[in-house]
């Protein structure tokens, strides 16, 4: 944890405040029992919490608000009218906050409360410079204040994760860890279907660091969910584990590589080199399966005419899907295809592959199942398949909607009928 902690909040007005925000801040602080000191500039080495406030009126040129597209992802509680009015803002009040590490939680909690009070009393929206999010006062209270129920909060409520496609795969990075005096955390080269799971891993690591975990061996850290101090965070994860989960992740740590749009902060990248696997994706899958547990089984199916007809309908959709994939899917959207793999005894095992590249008839992707009968393959490996061999597909949209897998519904019906005989 850094010796000195600095972060910035701001209040955007729609378009201007009814009175001087600095006067409002002074009045607000005068009512607090132990307020941060209001200063004219931040000290090089702050001790107890201090705050420096200033107004900017040339908003569009000196402190432009996030645009409408960004607000679709990072606007919290805003109506469309508020989002549009934000684009016309003529004044923003910036609050620079600072304190030493001994006041990490006291200082942040106080700053959160002041930001909400300022937004309510002066009629503005809260901007968290560190996480690039905009909140209504109600949303800020619900997400940043009411959720803080223990000495150390659930850090995922005070931060956010940006995930985006980087070349063939996805990169995720936290924003906001600087508010705790800690590095932001990066995970790279995973598929969109793992976005939620990787997000849980990142948040658990961040929680552990915020709670004071010590990295005893350079470049290695054993993350144990059972050692998380915040009981709400710990129990939520423990109760969701599969029966074969270890609840432990043997992580490799290295200095993260900064990219455009990353926070101006130190970066730690999570790696998975301590697990077996032919490539980073297989090691990644092994780690996640070990940490959270997994369920996978084999189903033996006779290809009925109904099943084959459903497969033909799926195959007919593939050219259009390929075109849309090449044009570019939305963030969080992915396509998986079911395709056969040869077993050593000459049979076939059908498994799902999440597509990373699709060039003509050639498909490359990440194997999403753990093979039962093919020792040379493992879940998470990069594999190459042919479009002509595809049996079915699943398209998952960012909002959770799913298209395809008609054969899966038929197989389930066949299993139920067989089990009832």
CA 205/CA 227 separation, integer angstroms: 11
| Cα–Cα dist 287/293, whole Å | 9
Nearest to 134 by CA among 84, 194, 181: 84
Strand order in the sheet with 392-396: 382-386, 362-367, 348-359, 334-342, 392-396, 402-404
Please check whether residue 341 lies inside any domain of the structure: yes
Q: For residues 250 and 313, state if they share a domain.
A: no
Residue 166 belongs to some domain of the structure: yes
Q: Is the pLDDT of residue 303 over 80?
A: no
Q: Say whether both 15 and 104 belong to one domain.
A: yes
Per-residue pLDDT, 421: 44
- Going by C-beta distance under 8 Å and a sequence separation of 6 or more, which residues neighbour residue 381? 277, 278, 279, 281, 282, 366, 367
Q: Does 300 fall in a domain?
A: no
- 298, part of any domain: no
Helix (H, G, I), strand (E, B) or coil at 84: helix
Mean pLDDT confidence for 252-263: 96
* CA atoms of 64 and 87, how far apart (whole Å): 8
* Domain end point (choices 93, 120, 145): 145
What is the reported pLDDT for 420?
Answer: 45
Task: Please report the pLDDT score of residue 97 as a whole number.
Answer: 98
Both structure tokens of 312: 């033909």
* 114 three-state secondary structure: helix
Give the domain CATH number at 327. Answer: 2.30.30
Q: Are residues 396 and 345 in the same domain?
A: yes
Clarify whether residues 9 and 100 are in a common domain: yes
At residue 416 the predicted structure's pLDDT band, cuts being 50, 70 and 90, is confident
Same domain, 133 and 239: no
Kindly state whether residues 160 and 257 are assigned to the same domain.
yes
Residues 165, 125 share a domain: no
Both tokens of 201, joined, read 């891993």
pLDDT per position as a tens digit, 200-257: 999 999 999 999 999 999 999 999 999 999 999 999 999 999 999 999 999 999 999 9
- For residue 197, is it within any domain? yes
CA separation for the pair 295, 370 (Å, rounded): 10
Mean pLDDT across the stretch 376-387? 94
The token pair at 400 is 């959770």
| Listed residues 86, 121, 145: the one ending a domain | 145
One domain for residues 250 and 358: no
Q: Is residue 256 part of a domain?
A: yes
Number of H helices, E strands in the chain: 11, 19
Q: Does residue 418 carry a pLDDT above 80? A: no
Query: Do the domain assignments include residue 284?
Result: yes
Among residues 292, 320, 349, the one where a domain terminates is: 292
Residue 267 sits at φ, ψ, to 5 deg, of -125, 140
Q: Which range of residues forms the domain containing residue 178?
A: 155-292
Beta carbons of 183 and 202 less than 8 angstroms apart: no
HEC-encoded secondary structure of 148-167: CCCCCCCHHHCCEEEEEEEC
Instruction: Kindly state whether residues 285 and 357 are assigned to the same domain.
Output: no
Note the residue count of the chain: 421
Q: How far is it, in rounded angstroms, from Cα 222 to Cα 410?
A: 43
Work out the average pLDDT over 173-194.
Answer: 98
Is residue 180 one of the residues assigned to a domain? yes
Q: Where are the beta strands (DSSP E) in 177-315?
A: 184-190, 220-224, 248-255, 267-271
- Residue 181 and residue 59 share a domain: no
Q: How confident is the model at residue 417 (pLDDT cuts 50, 70, 90)?
A: confident
- pLDDT on residue 414: 82
Residues 266 and 316 in one domain: no
Position with higher pLDDT, 372 vs 295: 372
Total domains in the chain come to 3
| Same domain assignment for residues 141 and 173 | no
* CATH (domain of 90): 3.30.1400
């Amino acid at each position: 944890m850094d010796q000195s902690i600095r972060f910035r909040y701001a209040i955007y007005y729609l378009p201007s405040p009814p009175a001087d925000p600095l006067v409002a801040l002074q009045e607000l602080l005068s009512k607090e029992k132990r307020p941060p000191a209001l200063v004219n500039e931040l000290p090089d080495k702050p001790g107890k919490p201090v705050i420096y406030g200033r107004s900017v009126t040339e908003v569009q040129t000196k402190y432009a608000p996030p645009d409408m597209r960004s607000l679709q992802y990072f606007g919290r509680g805003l109506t469309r009218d508020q989002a549009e009015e934000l684009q016309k803002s003529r004044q923003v009040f910036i609050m620079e906050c600072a304190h030493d590490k001994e006041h990490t939680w006291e200082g942040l909690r106080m700053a959160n409360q002041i930001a909400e009070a300022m937004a309510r009393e002066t009629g503005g929206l809260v901007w968290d410079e560190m996480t690039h999010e905009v909140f209504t006062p109600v949303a800020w209270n619900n997400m940043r204040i009411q959720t803080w129920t223990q000495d150390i909060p659930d850090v995922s409520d005070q931060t956010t994760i940006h995930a985006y496609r980087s070349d063939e795969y996805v990169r995720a990075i936290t924003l906001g860890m600087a508010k705790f005096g800690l590095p932001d955390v990066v995970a790279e080269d995973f598929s969109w279907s793992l976005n939620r799971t990787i997000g849980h891993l990142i948040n658990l690591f961040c929680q552990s660091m915020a709670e004071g975990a010590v990295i005893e061996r350079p470049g290695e850290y054993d993350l144990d969910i059972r050692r998380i101090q915040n009981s709400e965070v710990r129990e939520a994860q423990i109760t969701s584990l599969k029966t074969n989960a270890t609840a432990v992740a043997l992580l490799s740590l290295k200095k993260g590589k900064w990219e455009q749009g990353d926070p101006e902060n130190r970066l730690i990248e999570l790696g998975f080199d301590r697990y077996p696997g032919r490539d980073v994706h297989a090691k990644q899958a092994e780690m996640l399966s070990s940490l959270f547990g997994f369920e996978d089984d084999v189903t033996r199916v006779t290809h009925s005419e109904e099943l084959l007809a459903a497969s033909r309908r799926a195959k007919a959709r593939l050219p259009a899907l390929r075109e849309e994939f090449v044009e570019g899917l939305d963030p969080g959207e992915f396509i998986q295809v079911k395709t056969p793999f040869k077993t050593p005894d000459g049979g076939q095992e059908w498994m799902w592959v999440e597509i990373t590249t699709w060039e003509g008839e050639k498909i490359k992707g990440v194997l999403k199942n753990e093979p039962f009968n093919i020792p040379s393959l493992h879940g998470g490996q990069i594999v190459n398949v042919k479009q002509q061999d595809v049996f079915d597909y699943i398209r998952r949209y960012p909002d959770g909607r799913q298209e395809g897998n008609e054969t899966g519904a038929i197989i389930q019906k066949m299993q139920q009928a067989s089990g009832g005989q």
